[in-house]
Amino acid sequence: MTFLDKPVRQRWLAELLLPLWWVCDRLLGKDPYCWAFFVHPFKPGQFVENSRALFEAIKDDPAIRKRVFSRGGVIELGLEGAVNTEVVELQSFRGLLVLWRCGVVFLTHAIAMDLSWRWPNGGFSIVKPSLEKRVVVNLWHGIPLKRLFATANPEQRQRSDRVAFRRQERAYYKGLVASSDIDSYAMAAIFQPIAYDAVWVTGLPRSDFLSMSFDTLPGFLREAEGHIRAMTKGRRLIVYAPTFREHAFSGAGCYQFSDAEIEALRNLLQRHDAVLGFRMHYFRKGDQLFNMESYLDGDRLLDLGHDAFPEMVPLIRAADLLVTDYSSVFIDALYIDRPVVSFAYDLDSYRDQQNGLLYDMNLVFPGPVATAFPALLDALDAELGAPSQVQSERYRICRQVFFKYRDCSNAERVLDKVRATLQSVTH
Q: What is the CATH number of the domain that holds 379?
A: 3.40.50.12580
Q: 177: which strand partners?
A: 200
Q: Is residue 188 part of a domain?
A: yes
5, pLDDT greater than 60:
no
Q: Give the chain's mean pLDDT.
A: 90
Mean pLDDT of 397-411: 97
Contact, 289 vs 324, CB < 8 A? no
290, pLDDT greater than 60:
yes
pLDDT of residue 251: 45
154, pLDDT greater than 90:
no
Shared-domain flag, residues 20 and 161: yes
CATH number, domain of 415, equals 3.40.50.11820
pLDDT tens digit string along 87-127?
A: 999 998 899 999 999 999 999 999 999 999 988 777 788 89
Q: Is residue 1 part of a domain?
A: no
pLDDT of residue 253: 62
Shared-domain flag, residues 147 and 229: no
Give residue 371's domain range: 213-402
**Sheet of 31-38, strands arranged across:** 85-89, 65-70, 31-38, 102-107, 135-138, 175-178, 199-201
* R_g of the chain computed on alpha carbons: 22
Q: Is residue 420 part of a domain?
A: yes
In the chain, count of helices (H) and strands (E)? 17, 15
What band does 247 get if pLDDT is binned at 50, 70 and 90? Answer: low
312, pLDDT greater than 50:
yes
Shared-domain flag, residues 90 and 192: yes
* Measured CA distances, 373 to 209, 246, 257, 260, 345 (Å): 33, 22, 9, 11, 8
Shared-domain flag, residues 188 and 249: no
Shared-domain flag, residues 23 and 158: yes
Shared-domain flag, residues 252 and 391: yes
Shared-domain flag, residues 199 and 267: no
Shared-domain flag, residues 218 and 162: no
Shared-domain flag, residues 201 and 217: no
pLDDT tens digit string along 216-238?
A: 999 999 999 999 999 999 999 99
Q: Is residue 2 part of a domain?
A: no
The type of residue at 105 is: V
Shared-domain flag, residues 182 and 227: no
Q: Is residue 361 part of a domain?
A: yes
294, pLDDT greater than 50:
yes
* Total count of domains within the chain: 2
Shared-domain flag, residues 360 and 422: no
Which of 57-71, 280-294, 302-316, 348-362 comes out lowest in average pLDDT? 280-294
pLDDT tens digit string along 162-204?
A: 778 888 999 999 999 999 999 999 999 999 999 999 999 999 9
